[in-house]
Amino acid sequence: MSRVEDLLKKAEQESASGKVSEAAQAATENNAPAVAPPDDPSPASAKETPVQRNAKDVAGPSQVRDAIAKSCAQTSWSPDPATILLSHNGSRFAPGREEFRTLRSRLKLVRERQGIQKLLITSALPEEGKTFVAANLAQVMLWQREHQVLLIDGDLRAPHLHLFLGAPAAPGLSDYLSNDADEFSIIKQREPVSNFFFIPAGKPAPNASELLGNGRLKLLLQRLAPAFDWIIIDSPPVIPVSDARLVAELCDGVLMVVRAGTTPFDLAQIAYKDFRDKRFLGVVLNHVERRLTYGYDYYYARERARKP
CATH of the domain at 81: 3.40.50.300
> Tens digit of pLDDT for each residue in 184-223?
899 998 876 678 899 999 998 889 999 999 999 999 999 8
How many angstroms separate the CA atoms of 199 and 74, rounded? Answer: 12
> Does residue 63 form part of some domain?
no
Q: Tell me how long the chain is.
A: 308
Whether 38 maps to a domain, the answer reads no
Note down the domain range covering 173: 74-297
**Mean pLDDT, range 6-32, rounded to an integer:** 40
Number of domains the chain is built from: 1
For residue 208, being part of any structural domain is answered with yes
Per-residue model confidence as pLDDT tens digits over 238-280: 999 999 999 999 999 999 999 998 999 999 999 998 887 778 9
**Strand-pair partners of 292:** 297
H helices of 227-297, in order, are 243-248, 265-275
In a domain, 281, yes or no: yes
Strands 196-199 and 188-190: antiparallel
DSSP element (H, E) containing 151: strand 149-153
